[in-house]
Amino acid sequence: MRRMREFEEVCRLGVAEKQIHGEVHLAMGQEAIGAALAGLLHDSDAMVSTHRNHLHAIAKGVPLYPLLAEIYEREAGLCGGFGGHMHLFDPDRNFSTTGIVGSTVSVALGHAYAARLRGDDAVAIAVVGDGSTNTGPFAESMNIAGAMRLPLVVVVENNEWAISVPFSETSATATIAERAPAYAAAGERVNGLEVTPTRAAIAAAIERARAGEGPSIIEATCYRFRGHYEGDLDLYRAEAEKQERRVSHDPLVLARAELLSVGIDQRQLNRIEDEAKDEMTALRTQVLNDPFPDPATARQHVFASGLDIRTEEIS
């Protein structure tokens, strides 16, 4: 979790110092869910994330250097620097993202159906925010997943806010997990500030999916410390609420207290934190020395190069 927090910190710096352009959505405060996901999936399993995606990429094992280079729009990035932070793709690890709210589950559904057609035991996992669960694609995808008992696991990071709208004002149900039976899916709500119960719930859902028992919805409650994106003034949340949550809802603070309570040496924890910070600082320095992509290669990294062909045909 500390490495994830420090990774987000160097991304925050990149925006503040105008080295990263466009919107960047950070997940500070949601690290326990990312940590819970780490190591649970095989390379053949698919993970599809949303716009707040950095921690999920790390959890899926995407190498940090090309990941950060892509976020910093550098040539060495996952997509040659053309995708940026909302478009991270690592085919070797079956990891992808989409910036379209609600579409993450639909893409993961396709991976789950492909696994069914191949006849292997791969699963697909979609990680979405609570706002996504109120969209049509979420409902449509969950319905098909339930009808076909596809190996789909949906992890909902319920951070209480869909941009500036509180979850409590937009959901017909008190929780998201309780909607699962309507889709013939298993549903569980967990404290997403704690790694152990979150990991146990996701692991059980993956096991059910591999066993052919159909989809699951795991709702992990959490709280994001930054605005919806870097640059968001975040005036829709009371300052007192944000300050209180930084004390009571920081998964790193909670984890540190737990480790100290079982006898882990404080100096060891300090060393781990210092090493994580040094690692990400060095990684950022390395990325900043990389070149931006050559504009002449702008037509690479697309699904097809039909633009040139069509132009020639028209002429």
For residue 125, report the phi and psi dihedrals to the nearest 5 degrees.
Answer: -125, 130
Q: What's the pLDDT score for residue 300?
A: 72
- Residue 67 CA from chain centroid, whole number: 13
Judged against a pLDDT cut of 50, whether residue 314 lies above it is answered with no
pLDDT band at 308 (very low <50, low <70, confident <90, very high): low
Is residue 154 a contact partner of residue 218, using CB atoms and an 8 Å limit?
yes
The whole-number pLDDT of residue 34 equals: 97
pLDDT score for 150: 98
List pLDDT tens digits, range 5-30: 999 999 999 999 999 998 899 999 99
Is 0.75 surpassed by the pTM of this model? Answer: yes
Share of the chain above pLDDT 90, in %: 91
Contacts of 50 (CB under 8 A, 6+ apart): 97, 98, 99, 101, 104, 127, 128, 129, 132
Domains in the chain (CATH in brackets) are: 1-297 (3.40.50.970)
Among 195, 218, 63, residue whose Cα is nearest residue 127: 218
Q: Which of 144, 68, 55 is nearest to 95 (CA)?
A: 55
Average pLDDT over residues 212-217: 98
Q: What is the mean pLDDT of the chain?
A: 94
C-beta separation of 66 from 301 below 8 A: no
**Residue 79 in this model has a pLDDT that exceeds 70:** yes
Q: What is the pLDDT of residues 124-156, one digit of tens each?
A: 999 999 999 999 999 999 999 999 999 999 999
Q: Which of 96-105, 179-188, 280-289 has the lowest mean pLDDT?
A: 96-105
Asked whether the predicted pLDDT for residue 310 surpasses 50, the reply is no
pLDDT at 297: 85
What is residue 230's predicted lDDT score, i.e. its pLDDT?
96
Look at the alpha carbons of 241, 189, 206, 248 in this order and tell me if their dihedral is positive or negative.
positive
pLDDT of residue 70: 97
